[in-house]
Structure 1
Amino acid sequence: QADIKATDHVLEVEPGTGNLTAHILEKAKQAVAVEMDPRMVAELVKRVQRTLEQRKQNIIIGDFVKADLPYFDVCISNTPYHCQISSPLVFRLLSQRPLCRVAILMFQRLVAQSGAPLWSHLSANVQLYAKVNTVMHVPRNEFRLPPNVDS
């Protein structure tokens, strides 16, 4: 769904151990990962080191909301639900200039259509500035450590 091109600069927020990172690096020109947890950074480095794609990967260790971000065309994030980063992440992305071409974000179900039971302040604000599509619903039992909510 992200339609990553060979010329794209991709920003990955909270990549964890790099399950998506490997796929991003296969397609993108450059990938920047922003990760707060030093343990996850170590795992990410291990996963990417000694691969041809290693030269295309940069890692920013720190808080995405406060980090000095480079230019990016695509943003991808499968943020852990316990981090409570969903709203700050969305508002930070919407404040970036230039806006990225596409953002693929996995959230617990909280960005709903107008009038839907899950309609929220976040839903309203996002839909003022961006076109929002639900790509898929992911049931909680699809996760190795299932969260208490669906995605």
Structure 2
Amino acid sequence: MGKGKASRFAKKRSKPSTWQEKSPVKAKKYLGQHFLKDEEIAAKIANTLSLKGYKNVIEIGPGTGILTKYLLSRNLNLVALELDAESVIYLNHSFPLENAGIMHRQGSFRVIEADFLKYDISALFENESFAITGNFPYNISTQIVFKLLDIKTSVPEFSGMFQKEVAQRICAGPGSKTYGILSVLVQAFYNAEYLFTVPPNVFDPPPKVDSGVLRLRRKEIFTLDCDEKLFVKVVKAAFNQRRKTLRNSLKTFELSNNLKEDAIFDRRPEQMAVADFIWLTKKIANDTV
């Protein structure tokens, strides 16, 4: 596999061309790939990271490297995690991107053929903090966010492109129809910003939906004043029956009658801010039937 493909990619590298002409890598439907082809949007996404207090960055699913090259124009240590073997070969033969006029100034860069969801991230930067960014495959974007929450102590900043609906859901506040489990769990630890919308026509192939770019910045205090595992259980149980009041959706917790008389149980989950869920979790933890 290596020699034939490697030589083909090497030839492509020496010929200045547009993004579409330059890349021989084709998007694969089974990997959920939609390659961004708009340079201005790629540059905007690369600049969503502040690099304040950290220098290490993981890019998930770099594909043909349109975002990668703008990340490399900054002073950082970049690790690109790519599951597509064809893209890995192409990336290794295309950087630094002399033809794009963007040189890697300082820091380091490496490509690893790996699935972000299964890879041991702790091995990448030892005990140093790192950010995560990327044009995330829609079919695993929610799973990426849940893994982020598992490793939040190492990740002060996160940005990237999602399906617009998912990005809006993550950033939604109480009272919104899109406010849900992802909103509460993410916003318990991060400040979430929806940055801008991206139309389908700037991708190859174009998806059937709009995309949205968001940024998450970890809160200064990101440890909860309650049992975190119980907090997650309470939030998930509440939104799994979002049309019901908490008194009904939290029946499985076998709460005391005294606690269930509290007015908070007359509310529905979309009416609950993160602080309300923390307060409720503490009450449930201390409840005795």
| TM tier, smaller | 0.7 to 0.9
**Structure 1 length-normalised TM:** 0.84
**Correspondence for 1:89 among 144, 151, 159:** 144
Question: Matches of 2:136 and 2:145 in 1, distance apart?
Answer: 11
Amino acid at match of 2:120: D
- Give 2:91's match in structure 1, choosing from 24, 44, 66: 44
- TM-score (ref. length: structure 2): 0.46
Match among 76, 83, 86 for residue 133 of structure 2:
76
Q: Greater relative contact order (Cα 8 A, min sep 6): structure 1 or 2?
A: 1
Please say which of residues 12-21 and 99-108 is displaced more in the overlay: 99-108
- Kindly provide the amino acid, as one letter, of the partner of residue 192 in structure 2: V
Aligned amino acid, residue 110 of structure 1: V
Equivalence map 1:80-119=2 (5 Å): 80-81=137-138, 84-96=139-151, 98-108=153-163, 109-111=165-167, 112=169, 113-114=172-173, 115-119=175-179
Distance 1:128 1:97 in 2: 11
Contact 1:17 1:40 in 2 (8 A): yes
Q: Which has the larger radius of gyration?
A: 2
Greater CA deviation, 41-50 or 16-25? 41-50
2:75 is matched with 28
**Quick check: 1:110–1:120 contact (8 Å CA) kept in 2?**
no
Matches within 5 A, 1:125-144: 125-144=185-204
Deviations 1:41-85 (A, max 9, x none): 11111211586639821122111011121234221110132xx11
- Gaps spanning 5+ residues in structure 2: where? 1-47, 212-289
**Aligned counterparts of 1:119 and 1:55: Cα–Cα separation in 2:** 39
The root-mean-square deviation of aligned C-alpha atoms, in Å, is 2.5
More helix by share: 2
SS of 2:81's partner is strand
Q: How many residues align?
A: 149
**Unpaired stretches in structure 1, ≥5 consecutive residues:** none
Secondary structure in 1 aligned to 2:182? helix
